[in-house]
Amino acid sequence: MNVMFKLSKIMLLTMFVFSIYLQHANAKKLVIAHRGASGYIPEHTFSGAVMAYALGADYLELDVVMTKDGHLIVMHDLTLDATTNVEDVFPGRKNKKGKYNVIDLNLNEIKLLKIHERSSRQTTDAYFPSRFPIEAQIFEVPTLDEMILLVKGLSQSFGRNMGLYIELKAPEIHRKHNLDPAKSLLNILNQHGYQDATDPIFIQSFDSETLKSLRFEHKTRLRLIQLIGENQWKLSATDFTYLKSKNGMKEVSQYADGIGPWMNQVVTEIDFTGKIQITDLVENARQYDLLIHPYTFRKDRLPSYVSSFEELLNVFFNEVQVDGIFTDFPDLVVDYLEKNRKY
């Protein structure tokens, strides 16, 4: 009797997980433009956002950090060195570590800067040499409010909505400076009419405590995504090793709608037989009906187990069945999904 009961439980659980798998397999796959169309235009620029829209992206990913006077700007790094001409504009304003912090400048000062293609950490050479010329310093630093107005304007002009996918960068560091980017973000989104789970927006963060605060203290109904990193990256006090476990995914499901894992945390390799090695993270997430949006898919940074960008997309969309991906090349993903669309 006990054996039959246990077998019944296992069968019911298997059927439940499989039904979730089919649900995600048949749902529309999201193309998330990583920092805009950043494979073609420097990241987090108005031009990059317009191009992402023109190339058919479903969502525009925007990283936000705060200025000294409490304005949210669209910028990936907490420092300005790698993507702006800050050293030319403000010589002598480096911090003790030899860097220029966003949080040390006010918005008026930030607006004097120009964005260029990302440089490498070791040199001033371009991080992606085949992309936009790094010498071209012609792009303005956008505020979040300005970027939202641009995206909503494009949606109205052309009749197709492009959603927002906003990451709160290092909220715990901002709090040490008596700044609250999460509260400021919700205020701005509320002003623009983003309030409900059905609105075309996601908020993501590596910091689990910030996401819990958004859900339980601020009572937001907006969709939240728990980004998954590695503990050695030191992005947050969050224990990512624990979060990747079954118990961790259960906890995530209580405050978030999905996860944003590093792609190497989802697929490790393709073995000599051609079989894809998918980690337990996928099954753990699916058991709690969490969306899976891995990062970052680049045609000029392929993992060793594939020889082409299309092969990489096939692995994640057809084998793993992820719900969407972050990519620097939204047009290539849009074209792939259109070509492989199942009627």
Q: Are 317 and 327 in contact (CB under 8 A)?
A: no
- φ and ψ of 73, to 5 deg: -115, 160
Q: Which of 44, 71, 76, 174 is catalytic?
A: 76
The secondary structure element, H or E, covering residue 145 is helix 144-158
- φ and ψ of 69, to 5 deg: -100, 20
Residue with tokens 């911090």: 95
Give, as one character, the DSSP assignment of residue 323.
S
d(CA 324, CA 29): 5
Length of the chain: 343
Nearest to 46 by CA among 55, 56, 54, 36: 36
In the residue annotation, 174 being an active-site residue is answered as no
d(CA 332, CA 313): 10
In the residue annotation, 76 being an active-site residue is answered as yes
Nearest to 132 by CA among 262, 36, 31: 36
Nearest to 266 by CA among 258, 254, 277: 277
Just list the catalytic residues. Answer: 34, 76
